[in-house]
Structure 1
């Protein structure tokens, strides 16, 4: 049990209290407790009630519930609410634009208690007739439902990696040769099947041993004598464990890792990559590509034919790696909505071997995230200068900001304040419902702003939760090339935005990309691993990776850019 688990349970309790129209004071109590605990840096799970009540925002009532959660893994208040709430109503909270109050209206006035009935009511026009909804809300509900249905049964890259590793660690003591393959090995940003391979001569015995794992539930209708299929407890993502004859694991690992479109490529020898994989005398990856007459492609890029086009111009050694990263430029601290102080964030970055840490807390319009007013910007800059004096010459904190791109495309401060930063990450956070034309025009104006250094998470998407607003990617990338604006690969596994399919076009136009973790805690800095993975998938070169520049190089770059822009 962690602080985050407690926060999740309190937030869910507050939502369901609002759904059931309970006492507003009690709702605020749980909501405020979740907010306050989320901001804490220290682990509170081991504290007794007396010490919990010494923490700001935690009274005796909340303290006792924290202890209940830690000691039992449950919360009585939440259990009682869940018992009164249909499962289908709970699922409605996943729909974009529907909060507790609107869900309550749908439930009590239309008798809708599941997503299927909600979709039918929206398609029949019934939702639009409800006071406070209207046609626009109805269309948003339908669009959100369509998106959620398309994402069903999938998990993000980070969860898929975790599931695969858990299964690998459980199977490894029983089977000496176990490999993670499929979508996880090629670092897919969304995964619908977590696949592993086991080398064994005893198929029946292996199946029986897999069935012994309590975390797994077999789907008999989808399984076969050589393939175990089912689910991992608590998830709906598919689990596939394939049994491979002895001596065939390297060959099968190659075949199962690559997507079908990649295996279908015909090489100069006249055979497809799949045919080469099945017939190559040596089962190594390099030998298989050589037999097909095709250039070697790293596992991350084995998605489609694009990889061969890229490989005809570049060598795999040119791809960016974690070790190539020299700094990090999009991060938050307790100055806005981060969990750790500026000193802690920078210190952790230094411990990772990085030579610069760019702080980019939220700007003033983001009041929901405690965005910085101009006077607080000045205070933060004074702290940065004091900290830099203690770091010496080998490490430096850079003064940045994540400036909201406002509705008209302008940035969130006066030119005088913007000029005080070393760099500016410009991002859209509010008014996300836009046409392609509106969204593109909004971003283009921000890119043309001389103070914009990096375009942050260009589409605003949240994987599996929110589709990004539509943009003209070519127009945006071309404008970044014209105005010397770097494009962010937001490395948060919740975003991974810009999509990897546009990375190579950006490079061809001369646009550098920055692998930014958007970290709100020290652990969040490690999300750059996910950014590196999708960067490599899209063919990102280390020479085109902005935060692969050394400290001296990036300081020089930013200084010259400021001079060229005239501020």
Structure 2
């Protein structure tokens, strides 16, 4: 074994010892030995244990650890510490800008066990509340995590949306006369993007290919047949297909939908596609209503399109209010009034639903009963003060381990509406997790089921639940299901939204905003909702102020 892997092993041991708050002298001793071994001019493996003990900076104790590593391939003490440490916490220690001591604080005081949870906490502005942290450290951690997430070749849609549109702007400048459009998973508004697919229709295909190959629009450019591939500055792969204009709409169709969707449409054609003048013509020839790109996942909507029964998909302008938001009362950045004014004056909405964290969420400054009452007084005052706008008294109540909500009944009945969410004990098996949710759904005070699986895209899988049972329970108990619009969540997953709609369940596109600008995340929720087939007539916050007041009134009754 070479010196470097030995040094890395000792360094990991010292970091885990520091994480678990062991003797500081021993930690320094192992850390110093790690540094020393890495710089030695000879191979440590060639030395006897007695010789190692005499090396300056190693000593008897560390020499025995190195000998154990050389003889067995590991160090028992290290293995014991690894077994005591969640895998995600080990991953957090590799993030630039935070050492083992800070990781220990994040883990023990905030209950965060992986990088996805850490990124979400940073976005909710929670880290700056911890001793030894600040806004600058929080910003550096966000940057480091996003860089690590990008290195696996996958990106959140929100991470690349602007870059994709900027790149299309550059292509338009290079090919002003050409037909061009983004296709693939980006055009379908997939929540995770691994490649940006673009189709260009030009009168001279060869010239277009040569222009792209010689330009500096992309890094690592390659040309294969009629494709030019490369990547953007952030590492996102790009595949540009160049065709003659007559082949453009056929190629755009073929490159937009999933293979299953494309084949389902082609199977309905009685003659070859040739050179259609639009995508609409392709669907018309197949006897189908034109299917929006975001619905071109599999064959789910083929029969509805055949019956001219596709929904008119929801848009951002359909939304009249913003529900499930956090203020400075818990872990938000802005006050209730600042959030309200932003929704009224910038977002042009009619109402705001405040849902600060409940008392069990101590890591997020959850509201005890006294603070709930104080916040309600403030909201009453603001509602008298604000013209043409209303603030609803909500709470994001933690769903406790047994499925109960976080306050006694006399407090629950004071809220206009309640978002019930799971934030703790995410490792229940599917039966226990499902039972827990259903009990919360059956609570008569639950208005909305918040982020049903707790997933964090690209970093934490949601806890396993029986989606059908949970959705059926919401249908039976008149509980709305949230589409959490935070780009890291987008939960309820679009793949289950159609089932919910078929069961008569209403959905709500909630930003889970922790700052004023967070309300704009509703756009990403709209994208996810459109993929699920949502239309405004079944979206809770597409109701007018008067309509939603009546809904909340009936629920409380």
3-state SS of paired residue (1:488): strand
Number of the residue aligned with 1:375? 370
Structure 1 residues 266 and 196, CA gap change in structure 2 (3 angstroms)? closer
Tell me, yes or no, if structure 1 residue 465 matches structure 2 residue 464: no
Structure 1 residues 483 and 150, CA gap change in structure 2 (3 angstroms)? farther
Please give the residue correspondences for 1:128-527 in structure 2 after superposition, counting only pairs within 5 Å.
130-134=79-83, 137=86, 152-176=152-176, 177=178, 178-203=180-205, 205-211=207-213, 214=216, 216-218=218-220, 220=222, 223-235=223-235, 237-265=236-264, 269-271=268-270, 278-279=273-274, 282-311=276-305, 315-316=309-310, 318-351=312-345, 352-392=347-387, 394-527=388-521
**CA shift for structure 1 position 197:** 2.1
Rounded Cα–Cα distance in structure 2 between residues aligned with 1:125 and 1:325: 58
**1:294-324 superposed Cα distances (whole Å, 9 cap, x missing partner):** 2321111011100213435664453222121
**CA shift for structure 1 position 378:** 1.3
3-state SS of paired residue (1:167): helix
Rounded Cα–Cα distance in structure 1 between residues aligned with 2:543 and 2:537: 8
Rounded Cα–Cα distance in structure 2 between residues aligned with 1:406 and 1:422: 21
3-state SS of paired residue (2:224): coil
Greater alpha carbon shift after TM alignment, 209-218 vs 337-346: 209-218
**CA shift for structure 1 position 286:** 2.0
Greater alpha carbon shift after TM alignment, 206-215 vs 252-261: 206-215
Gaps in structure 2 of 5+ consecutive residues: 1-13, 22-34, 39-64, 92-113, 116-147
**CA shift for structure 1 position 244:** 2.2
**CA shift for structure 1 position 487:** 0.3
Rounded Cα–Cα distance in structure 2 between residues aligned with 1:265 and 1:456: 35
**CA shift for structure 1 position 249:** 2.9
Over aligned residues, Cα RMSD in angstroms?
Answer: 3.4
3-state SS of paired residue (1:339): coil
**CA shift for structure 1 position 206:** 3.4
Q: Could you tell me whether the CA contact under 8 Å between 1:127 and 1:134 is conserved in 2? A: no
Number of the residue aligned with 1:39? none
**CA shift for structure 1 position 246:** 2.9
Rounded Cα–Cα distance in structure 1 between residues aligned with 2:445 and 2:150: 38
Rounded Cα–Cα distance in structure 2 between residues aligned with 1:191 and 1:127: 42
Q: Could you tell me whether the CA contact under 8 Å between 1:151 and 1:464 is conserved in 2? A: no
Q: Could you tell me whether the CA contact under 8 Å between 1:282 and 1:288 is conserved in 2? A: yes
Q: Could you tell me whether the CA contact under 8 Å between 1:175 and 1:199 is conserved in 2? A: no
Structure 1 residues 455 and 233, CA gap change in structure 2 (3 angstroms)? same
Q: Could you tell me whether the CA contact under 8 Å between 1:218 and 1:228 is conserved in 2? A: no
Rounded Cα–Cα distance in structure 1 between residues aligned with 2:66 and 2:218: 39
- Counting matched residue pairs gives 442
Please give the residue correspondences for 1:33-72 in structure 2 after superposition, counting only pairs within 5 Å.
none
Structure 1 residues 521 and 229, CA gap change in structure 2 (3 angstroms)? same
Rounded Cα–Cα distance in structure 2 between residues aligned with 1:389 and 1:136: 52
3-state SS of paired residue (1:434): coil
